[in-house]
Structure 1
Amino acid sequence: MFWEDVFKLVLAMILGGLVGLEREITNRPAGFRTHTLVCMGSTLVMVTSMHLFRLYHDIVNLDPARLGAQVISGIGFLGAGTILKDKARVRGLTTAASLWVVACIGLAVGAGLYGVSIFVAVLAYVTLILLKKMERFLKQRLEIEEIELDIRNVPGQIAKVTECMGRLNVQIRDIKIEPTDEPWVQTKFYVMLPRGMKREELMEELKTVEGVEIYTEED
């Protein structure tokens, strides 16, 4: 039994490290060591829970999944620490999700579900590596345009821009804003143009919006 528990912990270390390796390479808040420790820790919790169940199930009514359930809910605090607000964007959601996944993998390893845990770890790694490339490929195929504007720094000004784009059936995929106390704020819109519309047509329409200037390198 001891060596089986050792095997579980080593396997958890490997699987958690596999997922964390991608996060480490991309320089995310929680990387290789964090994912490894989370996976090993959740495995230890599950192993402990199962041992307690075998020891005391004849004496008291025990639920072997109870400690594991606390891991699932408790990992949210660690995941929340990886979510950062970067100016107008929120970063770290994928890292928080990967931490939650490795915690679940650790519980599966602790329960003896070796095949399933290995399969999920591989799927998680594929998701982090290959699907990121697929996202970039889809963005290229979708022909997402980057529109850079100088917008007057007053309440409701961005709403005027989005309203103008909405009338033209332009899909807004993302907005990046550089916070400033200056009268004008530099803003980037990532949009998908409707079929048949050219970028120049959109720019001409945006010029008609009060409080908007088209950003150029000369400016």
Structure 2
Amino acid sequence: MTLSTTEMVIRLAVAVILGGLIGLNRKRKDKPAGLRTMALVSLGSATFTIIGIESVIQLVSVQNDPSGVVSMVRLDTSRIIAGIVGGIGFLGAGAIIQSRGRIQGMTTASGIWVTATIGVSVGLGLYVLALATTFLAFIVLAFQHRLFKSEEETDET
């Protein structure tokens, strides 16, 4: 059974909203990856995940193909998710800067990574997981200085 157009649009909208909430916190702190970046990361991750789901559904619907061509094709949603993780790793690496022995951008890179997981969760229809992840990430980002006080912890990026 394929996802309805309405369900796809709802999933994409939820991904943008939840990713945007993470980005809103970053924007308020004037960090490089803000509202638009996080919303787009979440949207893209959800879109790729939906594409993976739909690809598997379409493949299964033609499994009875007597030519045997379909049996040579292997589609797996987890491979698409793995591709998302690799791409997000590349994007996150671009957010990390080392200057004068100090590393900056780790929180931004981590935020990008978590935002991608939110998009994948929404793309899979795991709304409770996506909401819980968004809530917890927002708490960590909004209250990081109160929650994680440490003399060595100076990461504000």
TM-score, length-scaled by structure 1: 0.61
Residue identity (%):
38
Structure whose residues are more often helix by fraction: 2
Residue equivalent to 2:38: 35
Residue equivalent to 1:120: 133
Whole-angstrom CA distance in 2 between matches of 1:85 and 1:93: 10
**Residue 81 of structure 1: CA displacement?**
1.1
Matched, 1:129 2:142: yes
Residue equivalent to 2:66: none
Residue equivalent to 1:73: 86
Residue equivalent to 1:13: 16
What is the correspondence of 1:1-219 to structure 2 with a 5 Å cutoff? 1-57=4-60, 58=63, 59=70, 60-135=73-148, 138-139=149-150, 173=152
Check 1:174–1:67 CA distance in 2 against 1; reply closer, same or farther (3 A cut): closer
Q: What does the per-residue CA deviation read over 1:138-158, in whole Å, with 9 as the maximum and x for residues that have no partner?
A: 34xxxx5xxxxxxxxxxxxxx
RMSD across aligned positions (CA): 1.7
**Residue 86 of structure 1: CA displacement?**
3.4
Residue 147 of structure 2 aligns with an amino acid whose one-letter code is: M
Whole-angstrom CA distance in 2 between matches of 1:174 and 1:124: 18
Whole-angstrom CA distance in 1 between matches of 2:43 and 2:117: 11
Structure whose residues are more often strand by fraction: 1
Residue equivalent to 2:67: none
Q: Tell me whether 100-109 or 53-62 shows the greater mean CA deviation.
A: 53-62
Q: What does the per-residue CA deviation read over 1:122-149, in whole Å, with 9 as the maximum and x for residues that have no partner?
A: 11000111232223xx34xxxx5xxxxx
Structure possessing the higher relative contact order (Cα contacts under 8 Å, 6 or more residues apart): 2
DSSP 3-state at the match of 1:28? coil
Whole-angstrom CA distance in 2 between matches of 1:64 and 1:81: 26
Residue 89 of structure 1 aligns with an amino acid whose one-letter code is: R
| Kept in 1: contact 2:88–2:116 (CA 8 A) | yes
Residue 117 of structure 1 aligns with an amino acid whose one-letter code is: A
Q: What does the per-residue CA deviation read over 1:45-96, in whole Å, with 9 as the maximum and x for residues that have no partner?
A: 0001100100013234321221111001111111111112233311100100
**Residue 15 of structure 1: CA displacement?**
0.5
Residue 21 of structure 1 aligns with an amino acid whose one-letter code is: L
